[in-house]
Amino acid sequence: MATLIKNGTIVTASEQYKSDVLIDGEKIVAIGSDLDSRAETVVDAEGKYLFPGGIDAHTHFDLPFMGTNTAGFDTTPAALVGGTTSVIDFTPQPAGMSLQDSIVKHREEAIEGKTAVDYSLHSMIMDSTVPGIFDEFSALVKAGVPTIKMFLAYKGTPFMVDDATLFKGLEAAKDVGMLPTIHAENGDVVSLLQEKLLAAGKTDPKYHAESRPAIVEVEATARAASLAQAADAPIFIVHVSCEGAMLAIRNARQQGVDIFGETCPQYLVLDESYLAKPGFEGAKYVCSPALRPEFNQEPLWQALNNGWLQTVGSDHCGFNMKGQKDMGTEKFTGIPNGTPGVENRLAILYTYGFLQGKLSLQRMVDAFATAPAKLFGMYPRKGSIVIGGDADIVVFDPAYQGKISVETSLHGVDYSAYEGFNEKGRADKVFLRGKLVADGGKFIGQLGQGQFIERTPFGLAYESRMKR
Ligand code: DUC
Ligand code: ZN
Ligand code: ZN
């Protein structure tokens, strides 16, 4: 079954040009002008951009967290209508279970037969007391899972690792070519600040930001970078929320540390004033790291446009206000941390980045698709529009004008963090491995169509960089 997309403007991380694209089965088989083919389906993309299907390397579907569970993989059509065709989800590690068994369990129980997007998994240490946990890394790499998350926050839960564990993890990851990804906040200090605020009767959602100020993120980011340098390991810092943490990454990189960073749409367009909305509404915006004072947004856009931060992930974490966020009406520490956003990544980057002159289209495509594909071992199968690659393509209509609303969202959560935000341009048609799965904002695929993506180890790229 062949599809010809005619007259679109292909945008890659390095260029843009008008061209036709021929898809046969699941692959892109030709790119060129005036392609003449007997394709069964012809799509006229005159006046539209062709972007590679997005890769959201930071999602939490079906994550047990803070006493409840996030929305599951049956809500992944939200990703597709927003132009994201692959996600890399963080795999929960049940207490006492090995990392490998956790991967098998997450796939079998939460994902297979349910997911609409292609997916891969990061391993995630949630119980570092499991014996031999670092010895498992090489088996994870062999199973196509070459990334591991470690948390420097969430004291009092099994998530948080101490510096010794972090250092051991960095060394073990490096030895097998894994890329460690780090949640960088100083969990000890956050815990002390939380206690102090609650003791003073400061229980509203807005105190979430006071309990985890930017400096605790800056300190942990700089510490993680230093320990990566000490271990001679590469490192990827997730959800960079503030100028200081971005500068810590940029400085470490200038000193030769192989460090990379991600920011998220919420840190680019929302600020800490949202946490102080009337009543309990601020709970919608309780995520960690916390939303920051607005002045941090410009430096984050600048960092993306200059390549000081490489990727944008959503940190999608779908909790309802009713029945989940409201567990924290008495005190902000009871509010499950996280915001939904898997549907909105491209909309925010295009409308508030490109159209406002903060991000070139090339940098946008890189942060949205190509850089995550390269860093996380999915390139060139995913992440660009190339002959031989999977036909994951977004036909993007720049003329569309709308507004983001929970009413039209597919994310399966009872609010949108971007309610009322303008959406200029949108993913008009989305192809996943050659199949049209979203059309005009509607999901027209099937749950269960998503496939597991085995990823290659970062170490392959790392070694070639080191030999330069
Ligand atoms: N931050 C969140 O906001 N939610 C889940 C995990 C995390 O680190
Ligand atoms: Zn995190
Ligand atoms: Zn996260």
Q: Which residues contact 207 (CB under 8 A, 6 or more apart)?
A: 197, 332
How far does residue 182's CA lie from ligand 1's centre (Å)? Answer: 12
How far does residue 50's CA lie from ligand 1's centre (Å)? Answer: 32
Residue type, 428: D
How far does residue 147's CA lie from ligand 3's centre (Å)? Answer: 14
Note the pLDDT of residue 468. Answer: 42
Note the pLDDT of residue 460. Answer: 64
Note the pLDDT of residue 44. Answer: 97
Residues with CB under 6 A from ligand 1: 60, 65, 183, 287-288, 315, 317, 337-338
Residue range 53-380, CATH number: 3.20.20.140
* Ligand found nearest the CA of 313: 3
Given phi > 0 = left and psi -120 to 50 = alpha, else beta, which region is 420? left
Mutate to test the pocket of ligand 1, among 62, 65, 161 (most ligand atoms within 8 A of CB): 65
Contact 249, 259 (CB under 8 A): yes
Q: How many CA atoms lie within 13 A of 429 on its CB side?
A: 18
Task: Kindly give the number of the ligand 1 atom that is closest to the alpha carbon of 60.
Answer: 5
Write out residues in the chain with pLDDT < 50, as ranges.
467-468
How far does residue 117's CA lie from ligand 2's centre (Å)? Answer: 22
Q: Where are the domains of the chain?
A: 53-380
Global pTM value: 0.97
Beta bridge partners of 30: 22
* Ligand found nearest the CA of 339: 1
Is 2 exposed, middle or buried (CB count within 10 Å of its CB: 0-12, 13-18, 19+)? middle
Query: Which structure tokens are listed for 147?
Result: 């990334």
Rounded alpha-carbon distances, angstroms, from residue 314 to 26, 31, 291, 349, 417: 26, 30, 14, 11, 12
Q: What is the DSSP letter of 116?
A: S
**313-327: pLDDT as tens digits:** 999 999 999 999 999
